Amino acid sequence: MIRVVTLDPIDDKQLAKFNRTLYTAFGVGSEHSGSAEIPAGMSEPLDAEKLVDAVKGIRAYTDDKVLLLTTRKLKDRELPSGTAPTVGFARQGKDRAVLSIHPHKDLESAYKGLARHALHQLGHLWELHHCLDPRCSMYPPWTPSFSQGEPIFCTFCREKSEQKIRLAKS
C-alpha cells in the first residue's frame, strides 16, 4: 500500500487523481492517509533528508510505503558533483519519501512532472535504481527533459518493481 500523507492542505480531487496514477504505475493500493505536521524548528527551505526522518504520527504497516507531500520548498542538496535542486527525496530501499509541489500553485498545475517525480521516489523505496531509458520515470530527474515525460516505467523497471512488491507481500 502506498500511503500519501500531506504536510500542507491539498485539494482532495487532485489527490484522488494523483493516487490513481500511483495505483496504475505500481498495481498496489494508494490512498491519502491523512495529514501530518512539519516538525517544530524546521524552516523553509525544508531539509528533505531530515524531514523524512522527523515527521511522526504516521500509521503504516511494515510493507507500506509512505509518500510525504508538501507545498513548501525543499533545500537544495549538496552532492559530490555540486548543488542539486530537490523536488523529492527517498532513502533507497526504505519506507518513506518526500515530494514537493513547490514552486507550482497546486498539484494539478504541473501534474505530469510531479507524478513522474513521485514514481521516481517511490521506485527508489522499492530499490529501483536510475534507468537509461529517457521515457522511464527512473531516468535521472536532474535531466532537462525529465519533467516533460509521462509518469510511466519502462518494461524492465516495471517488472523489477512488480517483483519487489510481490516479495514484500510474501
What is the tens place of the pLDDT at every residue in 47-86?
999 999 999 988 888 889 999 999 999 999 888 888 888 9
Residue 102 grid coordinates:
513547490
Residue 89 grid coordinates:
527525496
- Put simply, whether the predicted model's pTM sits higher than 0.85 gets the answer yes
What is the tens place of the pLDDT at every residue in 107-118?
999 999 999 999
Measured at the CA of 67, the angle between CA 61 and CA 71, to 5 degrees, comes to 145
